[in-house]
Amino acid sequence: MSIHTDRHARRGASGLIDGLRAALRGDVIDPAHAEYDAARSVWNGLIDRHPAVIARCADAADAAEAVRLARTFRPPVSIRGGGHQVAGSAVCDDGLVIDLSAMRGVEVDADRRVALVQGGARWGDVDTATQRVGLAVPGGEVSTTGVAGFTLGGGMALTSRQFGLSCDNLRAVEVVTADGEVHRADRDQHADLFWAARGAGRGIGVVTSFEFDLHPLGPEVAAATVFYPYGEAGRILRAWRELAPAMPETVTPQLILWSVPRDPAIPEALHGEKCVIVTGVYAGPADEADAALAPLRRLVTPLHDMTATVSYVEQQSSVDDLFPDGNRYFMKALGFDGLDDAAIDSLLAWDARRPTPESLIALRTLGGAVARVGSTQSAFPHRRDRFNLSIDAGWSDPGQDASAIGWARGMWDALRPFSNGGVYVNFAGLDDDAGAAREHLFGDSAKRLADVRTSYDPEGVFAAAAQRP
């Protein structure tokens, strides 16, 4: 960068910061601010980006002012909701972060079975509020997951085969578009924007609130969590691939190759042992769950069976401690129409090279309500997938960056020939920033999504945000 250009950039940043301070009710955080390092940090400790300024919005009006100033000064823009997305798209280098993390309100209308959720809320906020009246919406499996990023990318949940993806339960969104105007988008108003909000991930504007349909569920649910011996992994996987898609839609089965957690409820002798974990939550009355969950509990003789009736809020936060804020994470994903023996053999071969105890491989079952939404009804393109594979490298020592990331990339490359090539945007890794990956992320929705973005943002105010997965 030339001296002239550098000075121009500094003047632009100064003007943007001054404008934000004059216009916003919320905090404006620049690199000199005492909270800057905390404010630029996100869940994934691998992300270390340095924005020029963070606009911590108090409300939708603040977000609109921030967008208007972005139009004037044209910095790179990123949008932070819960700050949990693995690729760290909430924060950018040398640009403006429009930060909604102070906007965490949740209002529940029990009679209408509707929740209004602000854009900075986390799923723990939503679950706590909705469970007071025995209602739920499909949400993240870690309670600190942000509602915004999870929902905008689709939102695979523990109840999705019964109730659909998180985005399938949207009634409307409130969104600040690139012209700085606040709109309600639903099936009747700005329908194309509403279509994009259900699967686009980001780059369509600043979504300041979400209106969800709710379903009767809880406050207690029946949840199967079964630990199986790792030596039987091949046999279990082959049985599970046939069982899972055939189970009633009230169950959304998962299979995880991991290690037994150091949980006091589990015999200490098993702690840290490699294992196969099979899970499923019954999306109905807990006292009716036994027959539906039973097949998950008898694939082979288990090491330990923690199947129980628990509070829905407890279930939704039960693995929070296993994904601590600030650890380093790198994830890759693939969609599968099926799992043949060669795919399972390759999966197990790569699992044998798992680089750290925190790393895992997860298989989620789709179908049911997810598949009943038409492929053109929302931007989410993976409606016909039978399984989703998530390769989750996790670690805390920066010295392990290369080995952990290399393992995830290598496994993804090896498994891709067995897949349908689709990549779920919420589990997209840092590799998936490239434009060449767009077709894998958005499939047949890619062109229409690009058209919607151009229509609402012809000047590219959110172009930097749209380029991140």
Mean pLDDT by 10 residues, the chain (469 residues): 43 87 98 97 96 98 98 97 91 97 98 98 98 98 96 97 98 98 98 96 94 98 98 98 98 98 94 97 97 98 98 96 96 96 98 97 98 95 96 97 96 96 87 60 91 95 75
**Residue 80's pLDDT is what?**
97
Which stretches of 266-397 are DSSP H helices? 290-293, 312-316, 341-351, 369-372
Across the strands, what pairs with 351?
none
Tokens of 285: 């009355």
Residue carrying the six token digits 């943002």: 457
What is the C-alpha to C-alpha distance for residues 464 and 442, in angstroms, rounded to an integer? 17
Which stretches of 198-249 are DSSP H helices? 233-246
**Residue 85's pLDDT is what?**
85
**Residue 469's pLDDT is what?**
55
The region, left, alpha or beta by phi > 0 then psi within -120 to 50, assigned to residue 326 is left
Residue carrying the six token digits 């434009």: 435
Phi and psi dihedrals of 62, rounded to 5?
Answer: -60, -45
The region, left, alpha or beta by phi > 0 then psi within -120 to 50, assigned to residue 83 is left
What is the C-alpha to C-alpha distance for residues 78 and 90, in angstroms, rounded to an integer? 6
**Residue 439's pLDDT is what?**
72
**45: three-class secondary structure by DSSP:** coil
What is the C-alpha to C-alpha distance for residues 357 and 397, in angstroms, rounded to an integer? 12
**Residue 230's pLDDT is what?**
98
The region, left, alpha or beta by phi > 0 then psi within -120 to 50, assigned to residue 105 is beta
- 8 Å CB contact between 252 and 281: yes
Q: Which residues of 314-344 are buried (b: 16+ CB within 10 A; e: fewer)?
A: ebbbbeeeebeeeebbbbbbbbbeebeeebb
CA angle 279, 284, 285 (to 5 degrees): 110
Q: Strand pairing of 220-229 and 135-136?
A: unpaired
Across the strands, what pairs with 279?
225, 254
**Cis omega (within 30 of 0) for bond into 219:** yes
**Residue 12's pLDDT is what?**
64
Altogether, the residues listed in the chain come to a count of 469
**Residue 1's pLDDT is what?**
44
**pTM (global) more than 0.75:** yes
What is the C-alpha to C-alpha distance for residues 121 and 124, in angstroms, rounded to an integer? 8
What is the C-alpha to C-alpha distance for residues 178 and 461, in angstroms, rounded to an integer? 6
Closest CA to 237 of 368, 358, 347: 347
Q: Strand pairing of 206-213 and 135-136?
A: unpaired
**Residue 40's pLDDT is what?**
97
What domains does the chain contain, in order, with CATH numbers? 3-99 (3.30.43.10), 106-217+441-459 (3.30.465.10), 220-429 (3.40.462.20)
Tell me, letter by letter, the H, E, C secondary structure of 155-187.
CCCCCHHHHCCCHHHEEEEEEECCCCCEEEECC
**Residue 198's pLDDT is what?**
97
